[in-house]
């Protein structure tokens, strides 16, 4: 595969992309927990998700600054039932990547697990 953007540019932009998806999942789960009584006591779970959300948003802010400094962007350019295409832009170069939708879910899951492990270390 011909690479148009550097490994470092790709690493920053893809982490930003999948971290943003993970934040969306966290926020939807928080909304669900706040509006429904899923557990007998929801508060500890809400507190855990809020701390994970805060850490994820801080990391995304740093990534966004790096992307701005390096003139990086990533946009969804196509989607069907099985694949989603993202185009990565870096300094007048672009590279299209197709992701199998279950692989996207797995990447988001890995980020969520990483964030939760980090939060559990602090307990």
Instruction: Determine the Cα–Cα distance for residues 40 and 68; give it in Å rounded to an integer.
Output: 44
Q: How many other C-beta atoms lie within 10 A of the C-beta of residue 81?
A: 5
What is the reported pTM? 0.91
CA atoms within 13 A on the CB side of 58: 7
**Full pLDDT tens readout for the chain, 123 residues:** 456 889 999 999 999 999 999 999 999 999 999 999 888 999 999 999 999 999 999 999 999 999 999 999 999 999 999 999 999 999 888 999 999 999 999 999 999 999 999 888 865
Instruction: Determine the Cα–Cα distance for residues 38 and 62; give it in Å rounded to an integer.
Output: 34
Q: Could you state, in order of their start, the residue ranges of all structural domains in the chain?
A: 7-117
């Amino acid at each position: 595969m011909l690479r148009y953007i550097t490994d470092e540019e790709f690493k920053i932009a893809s982490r930003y992309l999948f971290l943003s998806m993970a934040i969306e999942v966290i926020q939807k789960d928080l909304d669900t927990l706040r509006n429904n009584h899923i557990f007998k006591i929801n508060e500890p779970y809400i507190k855990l998700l809020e701390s994970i959300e805060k850490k994820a948003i801080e990391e995304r802010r740093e990534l966004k600054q790096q992307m701005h400094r390096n003139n990086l962007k990533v946009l969804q350019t196509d989607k069907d039932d099985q694949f989603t295409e993202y185009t990565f832009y870096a300094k007048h170069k672009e590279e299209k990547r197709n992701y199998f939708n279950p692989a996207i879910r797995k990447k988001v899951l890995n980020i969520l697990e990483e964030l939760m492990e980090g939060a559990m270390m602090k307990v």
